[in-house]
Structure 1
């Protein structure tokens, strides 16, 4: 049979249909496999954060394994409590994956938002004037074992760790975690060292 006759024959079209059917089945199986491996369908419904305070937002999203990012404050809206959520993205009701960040905007109350400076690895004497120059206040000071005495190790606000660049309201009190100038030793390790030292005869 010549090539031209074969290409126009019924056998050729049947074989094409079989190939297409096999490809369709393979694509279908691949999509199901992809859905399974990416845990598709295991989604979380975004809650309505409207009129909640930042602390309430954090608590609510923590329970759902979601996170949030404070974008900015908006002009004061009398229908919303001060410092409460006015806008959110994604909006309430949308489906998202775990650990998705929800972007929120807060109702202004005359206080402006500023970006948190990077105080980590600066000394306490350097950190405090920087805070005050930005309109922030010194909060609680705590210490933990670290070789650099009075070196800033962490910045916190209401118990939440702050990163450089995070937005926070002016006049907020910033808690600082400082190094105590000591290196911590595990007592159990010290005991084991004592037991391994041979007794002098």
Structure 2
């Protein structure tokens, strides 16, 4: 039997039809199986976790059969309660499947401590600029001390306590400059210098 007669024979055409039907059934079965195993039609709306505590987040996501991963935050945001959610991914309102991980960023419990630089002998303008650039606030009410130099830094104060170079103070703290009044006859001595 020649190839052309075999290809045009009823037996070959029947086998070809059976193979096509079998392939269609197989593809349909695979698609159904994938829909069931991947929860294709399932949609869970991601809740808004902003400003929620970790315990509240855990409870809320557990009810929705979602997981979460905590990402540390580097900067404190005073507009959010300490240790509450400040960011989340996916965002609130997005749709996900069950057991999806929600990545959350927590607000630290406070500002990070920053080391006080050596500002002794700097001008008021230089010291103010440096303090602002590293994250402090500078009080508009300076403390004038008897010193030969005018508007030269002779110390720093935070909450009434005199600071030394290397002391650590929370970022965003209000620092008060101790400046020479230009009317003294010598250099001002700090409380720690005077006690030595």
Q: After TM superposition, is the score higher than 0.5?
A: no
Query: What TM-score, normalized by structure 1, do the two folds share?
Result: 0.42
Query: What TM-score, normalized by structure 2, do the two folds share?
Result: 0.43
Query: Which structure would you say has the larger Rg?
Result: 2
